[in-house]
């Protein structure tokens, strides 16, 4: 099976929470024998790079978000499934609605514009106001034009995001799947020996809580 993953950015080329999730997903699918191509947005003006990282084909496109959508369509190819992460998926949904894209389409909503606005309001200050005027408005616009019913599946990493989509965009609960972000066991490996040694170093007992 051929899977094309569309990402607003990509770790390790560009750091971010969404990009890290995408990267772990792509590597995991590749290790299971699937043919995975990641098409990701990088810094504007950096051109287009074709890379192979950990057996994953990566097309890194240096562009702003608008031109990235147009240019990424050329790199999708003919996969069996397109999995779009973030609100970059709104444009792919519109193409699907117009009948210009007939490939099964999956969208993962990592966060919503509503969450972003609330965070920036609580953050306060001039920086927050600038981000609200740019990123916040852009996210709200993308959400408003997203044809949610154009996707074959919509994935949320938490019940909270699922509820937000139901309340604010009137999406049926049956159309939403909650799949929490996984844990990279290459990095996070439980060790009882290390656990006890760390607790002793911190002066914590076996039953003491630690956050």
Q: What does the alpha-carbon distance between residue 65 and residue 13 come to, in Å, rounded to a whole number? A: 16
pLDDT at 124: 54
- Strand order in 56-62's β-sheet? 48-53, 56-62, 35-42, 2-7, 81-85, 105-108, 153-156, 176-178
Render pLDDT for 123-143 as a digit per residue (tens, 0 to 9).
Answer: 555 555 555 445 555 555 566
Highest mean pLDDT among 18-27, 38-47, 123-132, 141-150: 18-27
Least confident of 21-35, 60-74, 162-176: 60-74
Q: What does the alpha-carbon distance between residue 146 and residue 142 come to, in Å, rounded to a whole number? A: 6
pLDDT at 170: 83
- 174 CA to centre of own chain: 21
pLDDT at 69: 72
pLDDT at 127: 55
Structure tokens at 160: 């909270």
Least confident of 51-55, 61-65, 99-103, 147-151: 61-65
CA dist 53 → 2, 46, 61, 89, 111 (Å): 17, 18, 15, 24, 27
């Amino acid at each position: 099976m051929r899977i094309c993953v569309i990402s607003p950015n990509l770790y390790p080329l560009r750091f971010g929470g969404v990009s890290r999730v995408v990267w772990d997903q792509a590597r995991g699918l590749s290790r299971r024998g699937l043919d995975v191509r990641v098409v990701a947005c990088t810094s504007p003006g950096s051109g287009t790079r074709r890379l192979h990282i950990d057996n994953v084909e990566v097309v890194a496109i240096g562009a702003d978000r608008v031109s990235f959508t147009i240019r990424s369509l050329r790199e999708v190819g003919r996969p069996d499934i397109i999995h779009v992460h973030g609100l970059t998926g709104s444009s792919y949904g519109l193409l699907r609605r117009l009948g210009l894209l007939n490939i099964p389409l999956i969208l993962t909503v990592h966060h919503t514009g509503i969450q972003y606005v609330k965070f920036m309001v609580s953050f306060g200050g001039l920086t927050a106001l600038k981000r609200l005027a740019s990123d916040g408005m852009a996210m709200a616009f993308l959400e408003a034009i997203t044809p949610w019913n154009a996707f074959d599946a919509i994935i949320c990493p938490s019940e909270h995001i699922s509820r937000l989509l139901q309340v604010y965009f009137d999406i049926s609960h049956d159309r939403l799947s909650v799949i929490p972000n996984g844990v990279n066991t290459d990095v996070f490996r439980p060790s009882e020996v290390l656990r006890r040694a760390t607790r002793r170093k911190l002066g914590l007992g076996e039953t003491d809580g630690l956050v």
